[in-house]
Amino acid sequence: MMEDRSHKVLLALVMLFLFAVIVLQYVCPGTECQLLRLRALSPAAAADPYRAEDETPARFVPRFNFSAGDLLRRVDFNIKGDDLIVFLHIQKTGGTTFGRHLVRNIQLEQPCECRAGQKKCTCHRPGKRETWLFSRFSTGWSCGLHADWTELTNCVPSVVDSKKEVRLRPSRNFYYITILRDPVSRYLSEWRHVQRGATWKASLHVCDGRSPTTEELPSCYTGDDWSGCSLQEFMDCPYNLANNRQVRMLSDLSLVGCYNLSVMPEEQRNKVLLDSAKENLKRMAFFGLTEFQRKTQYLFEKTFNMNFISPFTQYNSTRASSVEIDEQTQQRIEALNFLDVELYDYAKDLFLQRYQYMRQKEHQEARRKRQEQRKILRAKQAHLREQGENSSSTDYLGNVERWR
C-alpha cells in the first residue's frame, strides 16, 4: 500500500516536471531565457572566470580618477572598410605572444593565412587584397624594428597608402594598441635577451625626420653585440635604452627634442615624456598587461567586438622570473626605471578600472535582458490564463444553451 502511494507521488512529480518543461517551451521557445536560468543555478558560473588567472586583489581600490569616456572602450572597427589596427610592440612585454594571437587566434570571416616556416601571415580584409592589421606578424617591421609611437604615427599612414595618389587615399581610422609589462620583470627579461646576443641594432629611432647621431645615442658595447654581459654591466651603462623603455616608446619624442638631451633640463624632460606617455596610452584604442592575460583578452574582445578562438594562458614562469635578485638590486632597477614604474602603476589602475567598468556594463545588460524575459514570460502566462478562462466561460454557456 505504501509502495503504491510512493510510486504515485513519484509519478505525479515527474508529470509535473514534464508539464513545466512543456509550458516553458511554449512561453519561451528560445534558448536565451532558459540559459539565463541554468546559469543562475550553476555554482561554477557564479564564480568570476577572470579572477583566478592572475593576482588581482579581491577588492581593487582605484587610485586615479578617470571619466566614463576614458573607461568605456568600444570602437566601431570596420574590417571590411579602411580601418587599421596598429600594434606598437615594446620589447620583452609579451608582445610576440599577443602578436601571434592576432594573426592565428581570432575568429574571422576571412582568417589570416599563416604558412609553416614563415613568420609573416597574410591578413586580408574579406573580399579585398588589403591588410586590416599593421604588426610584426602581418606587415613585418615596415616602419623599423620595434618602431615606437613617434615613428609609427608618422610612418604608418604613408606606408599603407604609399602606392596610392594623395587624392585617392581613403580616410582611415588608425587604432593603436600595445602591451605593457611590470618594469622590473621586463628589464630583467631584456637583460637576459641581450646577454644571449640580441642587439636591435636595426632599430631606426627616427624622430623629426632623422635617426639620432652616435653622440646623441652612444652604444653600451664596442663589439658586434653585448652577449655575456653581467646584470651589473647592464645596469651601469648610462645610455642603455632598456631604462624607462616603455615611457620612451609610448611618448611623443619630438616634444623633448628627440634624443638631444641638451634641449631642456632632465627633470623637465622626464615630466614631459611621462605625461605624453600617459596621455597616448589613455587615448589608444586598447592596451593590455602581460600580468593579466585573460583580462587582456576580455578587454580586446569587448573593444573591437572580435573574439579569440582559444583563451589566453597566464604564464607565471618566465626567464625573468627565474632570475633571483636581492632587495638592493631590485631597488636599483626600479630607480633606473622610475618613469616606467610610475607609468605602469597608472596603466594598471586604468586597466583594472576599465575591466571593472566593462564587467559592470555586461552585468547590467544581462540583468536588463533577464527583466525583459520575465516580462515576456509573465505576459504569455497571463495570456494563457485568459485563454483558459475564456474557454471555460464558452463551454459553460454552451452547456446552458443545450440544457434549455
**Contact residues for 7 (Cβ-Cβ < 8 A; gap 6+):** none
Positive or negative torsion for Cα 317, 112, 149, 146: positive
**Contact residues for 335 (Cβ-Cβ < 8 A; gap 6+):** none
**Structure letter (DSSP) for residue 139:** T
- What local confidence, expressed as pLDDT, does residue 395 receive? 61
- What local confidence, expressed as pLDDT, does residue 265 receive? 98
**Residue whose entry in the numeric block shows the C-alpha cell 648610462:** 238
What is the C-alpha to C-alpha distance for residues 341 and 232, in angstroms, rounded to an integer? 20
CATH domain 82-363 topology: Rossmann fold (3.40.50)
Q: How far is CA 277 from CA 295, 310, 342, 343, in A?
A: 22, 31, 11, 8
pLDDT at 147 over 80: yes
- What local confidence, expressed as pLDDT, does residue 12 receive? 72
Q: Return mean pLDDT, the chain.
A: 88
What is the C-alpha to C-alpha distance for residues 182 and 377, in angstroms, rounded to an integer? 50
SS3 category, 231: helix
User: Cell numbers at residue 376, please?
Assistant: 515576456
How many angstroms from the chain centroid is the CA of residue 44?
24
What is the C-alpha to C-alpha distance for residues 310 and 163, in angstroms, rounded to an integer? 37
250 neighbors 149 (Cβ within 8 angstroms): yes
- What local confidence, expressed as pLDDT, does residue 384 receive? 86
SS3 category, 121: coil
Q: From edge to edge, which strands make up the β-sheet containing 133-134? A: 133-134, 84-88, 174-180, 286-289
User: Cell numbers at residue 135, please?
Assistant: 604588426
- What local confidence, expressed as pLDDT, does residue 51 receive? 60
Rounded to an integer, the average pLDDT of 246-260 is: 98
Domain boundaries, the chain: 82-363
pLDDT at 38 over 50: no
CA atoms lying within 13 Å on the CB side of residue 49: 8
pLDDT in tens, 263-317: 999 999 999 999 999 999 999 999 999 999 999 999 999 999 999 999 999 887 6
pTM reported for the whole predicted model: 0.81
What is the C-alpha to C-alpha distance for residues 237 and 232, in angstroms, rounded to an integer? 9
CA atoms lying within 13 Å on the CB side of residue 301: 20
What is the C-alpha to C-alpha distance for residues 100 and 104, in angstroms, rounded to an integer? 6
What is the C-alpha to C-alpha distance for residues 403 and 397, in angstroms, rounded to an integer? 10
Residue type, 133: L
Catalytic residues: 146
Between 396 and 351, name the one with better pLDDT. 351
- Strand 286-289, strand 133-134: pairing: unpaired
What is the C-alpha to C-alpha distance for residues 313 and 294, in angstroms, rounded to an integer? 7
Residue 355: closest CA among 72, 111, 154, 105: 72
Q: How far is CA 261 from CA 211, 250, 253, 265, 269, in A?
A: 14, 18, 11, 8, 8
